[in-house]
Amino acid sequence: MFDCHRFDRGAAAAVRRPAARRRGSWLPATLVPVVVFVLCGGLAAPLPAANVAATPQDDLVWITVGADVFEAAARRLAPPPGLSGGVVLEAFDRHEEVVLTRLPLAAIDALSGIVHADFRRCGGFVKHESLAEAEAEMARLRAPRLAPDVLPFAIDQPTLVGTLAGEVSEAELLSTITALSAFTNRYHAHPSGSASATWIRDQWVGLAAGRPDVTVEFFDHGTNTPQDSVILTIPGSTLPAEIVVLGGHQDSTRSGCLSDPNCIAPGADDDASGIAVLSEVIRLALAHGLRPQRTVQFMAYAAEEVGLDGSTDIAEFYSNTGKNVVAVLQMDMTGYQGSAQDIVLINDWTNSELNAFVADLISTYQPGMVQSTTLCGYACSDHAPWHTRGYRAAFPFESTFDQSSPYIHSSSDTVANLSNGAAHAAKFARLAAAFLVETAIDGPEVPAMPFLDGFETADTSAWSRVFP
């Protein structure tokens, strides 16, 4: 029997906030309209007016944002000449390509639209709970970068990788993408966002059936968002304090979702495809009785689209509690092949040594794949909070950023607009399976089904009877 409960951050922190209080922070009382424009499918179109709050102190949030996004948002959100309304952005601090500013909470939806319209990417900013947290982020960015390090793992498990990667199922991937994109939306602040989180939890619970050592938990984010992150943990056998994280965000968005619980945002590519990859690797690992040496955690992050809320909260907690995360892999958009390359590594705001390792995984286990690199800017996805806190993070992406799916953040981000069903996502599932095995298990090479009966670790949970 697996263990399914709420992630324990300590007795006080683990208590879930009352629903009304948690959701209240996303219901600003005073709203004024601002119109922004985004590109969807290559056509410029006006979006419905974004409800942007007036600026009493309680409605303002601190963010750190890429300087390019800040400049664009400052222009696009500014009040029209001679008219009231709009948002005036002020740069309170700046370091290289990152700016510290604040804006009304209700302007987050418009800011996300600008990031997508002007830069064809998600994220682009991190929302902070307080000025102190935002200043801490700026301090981290100013801290000297660590010298190149030697990774604590190597590519030495071809048999097991071949077994798991060889069984990746496009049908399973497509089933998960289809189910998640069937939700009206997975917007973090709406009931459908909580329902989809529960759906992911339940799916992972089912995959963990028969594994009493595996836990599936909600990670509560308090007033940041009513949507919980979901974490599945496979404990390590001999190196349990060393943690490998594979993650992707579960929420979806489009313009207007902030004020409309019924907005249509299927998010098939962004990022049901990433959650499908995680789910498929979980399925294969547990079906083969994998008992890794290092602890492995799969994370479906909440509220990525509104400032990386879920991943920032988790990475901050792990950093503050001294957790030793040795590698992080992000799966965000794996289903649309917009460029000739099969897998494209993000090489800014990521760890160069881990990037080289992931590139070697591709060359070793999928030698026919064409790979390349691209840039995505500050805080473009959930790898960023890990990276800025000194953890090694890598982010393989579906294409170059300028050729990624034109359908994201719209009602057209559907299964029908993926590349050949789940064929492209399958490449990332095979990569994630290789990453899991090669980061969580050290040589010499282990059998294809390591420690299945628990004999080598004295774990008797899989035995039918134990004699004294």
Q: What does the pLDDT look like over 309-332, one tens digit per residue?
A: 999 999 999 999 999 999 999 999
Q: Where along the chain do the CATH 3.40.630.10 domains lie?
A: 158-440
**pLDDT score recorded for residue 38:** 36
- Per-residue pLDDT of 179-217, as tens digits, reads 999 999 999 999 999 999 999 999 999 999 999 999 999
- Per-residue pLDDT of 339-360, as tens digits, reads 999 999 999 999 999 999 999 9
Mean pLDDT, the chain, rounded, equals 86
Determine which of 23-37, 48-62, 88-102, 279-293 has the lowest per-residue pLDDT on average.
23-37
**Is 304 an annotated catalytic residue?**
yes
**pLDDT score recorded for residue 217:** 97
**pLDDT score recorded for residue 57:** 59
Give dist(CA 230, CA 177) in Å, integer: 17
Answer whether residue 449 shows pLDDT above 90.
no
**pLDDT score recorded for residue 134:** 97
Q: Phi/psi at 393 (nearest 5 deg)?
A: -140, 145
Mean pLDDT on 365-392: 96
- Report which of 316, 338, 334 is spatially closest to residue 325, judged by C-alpha positions: 316
Higher pLDDT, 357 or 146: 357
Higher pLDDT, 120 or 304: 304
Mean pLDDT on 235-245: 98
Catalytic residue, candidates 116, 383, 387, 409: 409
Catalytic residue, candidates 116, 221, 249, 387: 249
Answer whether residue 97 shows pLDDT above 80.
yes
What is the CATH number that goes with domain 158-440?
A: 3.40.630.10
**Is 249 an annotated catalytic residue?**
yes
Mean pLDDT on 230-255: 97
Answer whether residue 17 shows pLDDT above 90.
no
**pLDDT score recorded for residue 5:** 65
**Is 305 an annotated catalytic residue?**
yes
Residue with tokens 């942007």: 52
Answer whether residue 251 shows pLDDT above 90.
yes
Q: Phi/psi at 415 (nearest 5 deg)?
A: -60, -35
Catalytic residue, candidates 271, 304, 313, 398: 304
Mean pLDDT on 14-43: 36
Determine which of 23-37, 47-61, 169-183, 209-223 has the lowest per-residue pLDDT on average.
23-37
**Is 97 an annotated catalytic residue?**
no
Catalytic residue, candidates 59, 270, 398, 442: 270
Per-residue pLDDT band for 8 (boundaries 50, 70, 90) equals low
Mean pLDDT on 158-186: 98
**pLDDT score recorded for residue 436:** 98
Higher pLDDT, 16 or 372: 372
Determine which of 53-57, 131-135, 325-329, 333-337 has the lowest per-residue pLDDT on average.
53-57
Sign of the alpha-carbon torsion through 391, 396, 400, 401: negative
Catalytic residue, candidates 313, 332, 398, 413: 332
Mean pLDDT on 372-385: 96
343 contact partners, CB below 8 Å, separation of at least 6: 362, 366, 369, 370, 371, 396, 397, 427, 428, 431
Q: How large is the angle between the packed helices 273-287 and 191-207, nearest 10 degrees?
A: 20
Catalytic residue, candidates 305, 313, 342, 442: 305
